[in-house]
Structure 1
Amino acid sequence: MFTLRTSTSGIPRRRAVTAGIAISAALCAAVLVPGAAMAAPNASGAAAIQAVPGPLMNYAINVGIVNRGQTLKVERAVAAAGGSVIESYAEIGVVIAQSDNAAFATALAKEKAVLSVGATRTAPVAATDPTYGVSDPLAPGESGHKRSAAAATTKDAGVEAEVTVIPDPSESRQWDMAAIGAVAAHEITDGSRDVLVAVIDSGIQGDHPDLAANIDVNASASCLSGVADTSYESWQPTTSSHGTHVAGTIAAARNGIGIVGVAPNVRVSAVKVVNDDGFIYPEAAICGFMYATETGADITNNSYYIDPWEFWCDNNADQSAVKTAVNRAVQYSQGKGVLNVAAAGNSALDLANKTVDSSSPNDTVPVTRPIDATCHDIPAELDGVVTVSSTTSTGAKSGFSNYGLGVIDIAAPGSSILSTVAGGGYGTSSGTSMASPHVAGVAALLKSVHPEYSGLALGDVLYAQANDVACPAGSALCTGPVENNAFFGEGLVDALEAVN
């Protein structure tokens, strides 16, 4: 996406990625002492800035030169500024830190190894937040990627509606599968067990009768604390069926129970990033992308936008730094061969012509602000991510779906989608959250028959195989030719083409 996403032809767009340096990362942490003064100079030798007691906040810090030595300098600067490291990713040059020093960002900005630093939220870190009070400290440079954090729970990640619980087998009610050719595709293949789709979401019910056989427990984790917790309980849903619904659309098993997913024989992993208040904060999302890549995901599904800003803008220091950090994680994953698929969003906005945002930040008090092309919905608008709009059973764009010429890549069914829900049952939901997993599922079928394809190659083939859908007659909002337009991008995703 970004400025590279300008093609209006039917030619698939191949977009560049930047791979990080694959060096093992580190985590160091210390219990915070409120208002602790900084008594030592920072790692570059600059004079220390006196600490000022303030709210407890989390920060994303980007290293200027991506290598282990520079990252270690930043970790030491964090400690010198009265903070503690939640997680450190040397391979992408990102450090996630926590501090109650109001001068923390100013102090870190003086470290020569730091490119940028920004708060990941506008509300202080609450005592109930999974990242609160970093404990179990590690020395700078000590590996912390695989350390287990405290178990956490989650709730809704944005389901627009959940109705009509269906207790009986209901494949015949899945209009969406017929619309994308999945029914015909299943006569050829249900997908390969070698393919893994990471559902970065609100968790998946591990014992759901239509999902249990396809969940890769060893690749599942919670990232709510900013550190991957691989315990089974940590990635179970509690108050949200969102992730379970998404997982069912991708890979509900063909077992004579309930429904059938787009790719009913592939594996899925649960990577939980939604906290109990319904927020997907940057530290959790970054952990999610990095953990999914580390555990061998071929495809990730991202049916959310990262809170608290619906659009992250370059003209704000905090937002720009966070966007850089998330983008580094996304580009790293794509450099490792992962295809990232994301929902376009449910605000009925033209993402190619943004003007105003009145809903952000959503963790404190929203403000009305002007926005422009430098403001992005992340991860949907990050370069290389497959951005999915939603369609109805009649083939029209869903009324709630975002759109935008050169932003939407592909379309898929997203209105009144029947799938699995937590508690072992079934229900219908609507949203681009429901459209995105259809594309992830088709990508999994494509990867099954073409295991040699990299993630970006999968995306290119998805675009080339999509069925063109013209703009509705007389629409002033839908611009562009039938081959690639604002509502449907390259067209409706095609499962049958994928397996042929």
Structure 2
Amino acid sequence: MKKLFLALGLTCALSASAQDFNGYIVKLKPGYESFVNTTYADAQMRKLSFGTFAVVKEKFEGLVADPAVEYVEKNWIINLNDFSAPQSVESALTENRDEQFSKQWGLLNDGRNSGGWFSRGKAGEDINATQAWNVETGNRDLVVAVIDTGVDYTHSDLKANTWKNEGEIAGNGIDDDGNGFVDDVYGYDFANKDADPMDGHSHGTHCAGVIGARHNGTGIMGVMANVKIMSIKFLSDSGSGETIDAISSIDYAVANGAKILSNSWGGGEYSEALKESIENARDKGVLFVAAAGNSRSDNDVRSTYPANYEVENVISVGAMDGKGNRSSFSNYGQETVHVFAPGSNILSTVPGERYKKMSGTSMATPMVSGVLGLLLSKEDQLSFSEIKERIYKTAVPNATLITKAKSGRIEAYRLLNNIQN
């Protein structure tokens, strides 16, 4: 049985757990909500836009056969050990935060800023962000949800591009906009069941910076200069979470106007509830960008979820290094991974006005989310099939990647201008 994971690379490790699920997710048939409340006293109810769910502690024959129940499945746990970047990297960046763009090889690779200790990278193996910005820099009305460990929405490189729920009044204890959540000004924390999605881990803030760190002359630059980043937390500060909270997060993002969902997490067994939440996003016209995973495996042979769900709005992302090769940790799949993007040694924001380099398909995923945000800012009427075809036909057919995905390396300028191979 596979464990669930955050899509970080070699700098982190999975935390083995004796219990890899926490109770069972029960989908209820319409009209049976009150019946379940009285029959199963320990049930925790979740009313979502695409159905009503309960989480119960035990699965038993009577539950499965209950006429109120549509299906029962495990409530998977996501669990990750803490990881830390090399101290020398963090200290240097903490002392000097201005104009860090030269270190962002994923946006502009000059060969020197993308290599390791003993070797250079390959110039031009990037998303070609600088040329793309001559065409499109984003849209202040486009909402991209980062579904993760939360986001430090006070970070100086992020706060100007942070989504705020204008219909909610902070701190008054009232659901002012009637969306079912009290005081959800910056999003919601499904891990702790409160309205403050502040990141105490760093993973979500890093992903947010890749997408939309403000182009303000200090710090780093996101793929999008203009965007609204919605902060949604379902992974705790220790990096753990549950499937029921993942689907609640997706439902919240869709209901509150997100057009792109960036998901740098995955793994575990197939979940019908999670697939249904993605299908609901599809039906509302929302893209679901997902990390392909970091187990060095072929997703064509062994599925990784949610990246492997065969739903039209899912875009699965693998990670590449500064030489244009598949990152050593990245999953791949000529039929199931759609595109590769920079994912090794990616510099971005972390809580506390700091910056770090991280590696993983976690980092490649928001890179693609940002590029697709540029595309939707320019052409907002594209269908899912049109978006995917545009990716396939404009991606650079890098010889080392073309056999590892349905396309090669995503290229923002070519994508925006529909320059085909």
TM-score range, shorter chain: 0.7 to 0.9
Distance 2:55 2:214 in 1: 40
Letter in 2 for 1:58: G
1:186-239 Cα deviation digits (max 9, x unpaired)? 1222111121110001111111111000010326211225x6x4x3xx20012x
Distance 1:157 1:325 in 2: 26
Would you say 1:97 and 2:55 are equivalent positions? yes
Letter in 2 for 1:405: Q
Do the aligned partners of residues 341 and 499 (structure 1) sit closer, same or farther apart at CA in structure 2, a change above 3 Å counting? Answer: same
Which of 410, 416, 420 is the equivalent residue of 1:499? 416
Distance 2:306 2:283 in 1: 16
Paired position in structure 1 for 2:204: 243
CA contact (8 A) 2:334 2:406 kept: yes
What is the CA distance between 1:122 and its match in structure 2? Answer: 7.7
Letter in 2 for 1:331: E
> Partner of 2:295: helix, strand, or coil?
coil
CA contact (8 A) 2:77 2:240 kept: no
Paired position in structure 1 for 2:308: 381
> Partner of 2:191: helix, strand, or coil?
coil
Paired position in structure 1 for 2:190: 223
Which of 198, 213, 222 is the equivalent residue of 2:160? 213
Distance 2:81 2:148 in 1: 7
Distance 2:84 2:210 in 1: 16
CA contact (8 A) 2:25 2:56 kept: no
Paired position in structure 2 for 1:176: 106
The structure number with the bigger radius of gyration is 1
1:68-111 Cα deviation digits (max 9, x unpaired)? xx33315523531333233122x423403234xx4x54332222
Do the aligned partners of residues 57 and 181 (structure 1) sit closer, same or farther apart at CA in structure 2, a change above 3 Å counting? Answer: closer
Paired position in structure 2 for 1:452: 381
Structure 2: state its 5+ residue gaps. 1-20, 109-125, 166-185
Letter in 2 for 1:77: V
Would you say 1:86 and 2:24 are equivalent positions? no
Paired position in structure 1 for 2:234: 273
Give identity over the alignment, percent.
32
Letter in 1 for 2:380: P
Pairing 1:431-442 to 2, within 5 Å after superposition: 431-442=360-371
CA contact (8 A) 1:157 1:274 kept: no
CA contact (8 A) 2:85 2:356 kept: no
Distance 1:462 1:220 in 2: 30
Paired position in structure 1 for 2:180: none
> Partner of 1:177: helix, strand, or coil?
coil
Would you say 1:116 and 2:78 are equivalent positions? no
Which of 208, 216, 220 is the equivalent residue of 1:259? 220
> Partner of 2:294: helix, strand, or coil?
coil
1:153-204 Cα deviation digits (max 9, x unpaired)? xx96886846513132211111100211111111222111121110001111
Letter in 2 for 1:181: N
> Partner of 1:268: helix, strand, or coil?
strand
Distance 1:122 1:469 in 2: 36
Distance 1:188 1:211 in 2: 22
Paired position in structure 1 for 2:332: 403
Distance 1:109 1:174 in 2: 52
Do the aligned partners of residues 175 and 467 (structure 1) sit closer, same or farther apart at CA in structure 2, a change above 3 Å counting? Answer: same
Which of 250, 261, 273 is the equivalent residue of 1:325? 273
Do the aligned partners of residues 386 and 293 (structure 1) sit closer, same or farther apart at CA in structure 2, a change above 3 Å counting? Answer: same
Do the aligned partners of residues 461 and 162 (structure 1) sit closer, same or farther apart at CA in structure 2, a change above 3 Å counting? Answer: farther
CA contact (8 A) 2:188 2:197 kept: yes
1:279-305 Cα deviation digits (max 9, x unpaired)? 231011001110110011110110011
1:300-328 Cα deviation digits (max 9, x unpaired)? 110011xxxx3305xxxxxxxxx001100
CA contact (8 A) 1:210 1:253 kept: yes
Paired position in structure 1 for 2:134: 187
Distance 2:218 2:145 in 1: 23
What is the CA distance between 1:460 and its match in structure 2? Answer: 3.4
Runs of 4+ in 1 over 6 A off after TM superposition: 155-160
Pairing 1:294-305 to 2, within 5 Å after superposition: 294-305=255-266
Structure 1: state its 5+ residue gaps. 1-55, 64-69, 124-154, 314-322, 355-375, 473-481
Pairing 1:324-343 to 2, within 5 Å after superposition: 324-343=272-291
Do the aligned partners of residues 278 and 210 (structure 1) sit closer, same or farther apart at CA in structure 2, a change above 3 Å counting? Answer: same
Do the aligned partners of residues 106 and 345 (structure 1) sit closer, same or farther apart at CA in structure 2, a change above 3 Å counting? Answer: same
Paired position in structure 2 for 1:60: 25
CA contact (8 A) 2:46 2:54 kept: yes
CA contact (8 A) 1:344 1:388 kept: yes
Would you say 1:424 and 2:386 are equivalent positions? no
What is the CA distance between 1:247 and its match in structure 2? Answer: 0.5
Letter in 2 for 1:237: D
CA contact (8 A) 1:105 1:118 kept: no
CA RMSD of aligned residues (A): 2.4
What is the CA distance between 1:456 and its match in structure 2? Answer: 4.9
Distance 1:75 1:380 in 2: 35
Do the aligned partners of residues 83 and 421 (structure 1) sit closer, same or farther apart at CA in structure 2, a change above 3 Å counting? Answer: same
Letter in 2 for 1:241: S
> Partner of 1:107: helix, strand, or coil?
helix
CA contact (8 A) 2:132 2:412 kept: yes
Do the aligned partners of residues 196 and 73 (structure 1) sit closer, same or farther apart at CA in structure 2, a change above 3 Å counting? Answer: same
How many equivalent pairs are there? 352
Distance 2:37 2:60 in 1: 9
TM-score by length of 2: 0.78
Paired position in structure 1 for 2:15: none
TM-score by length of 1: 0.66
Distance 1:416 1:122 in 2: 27
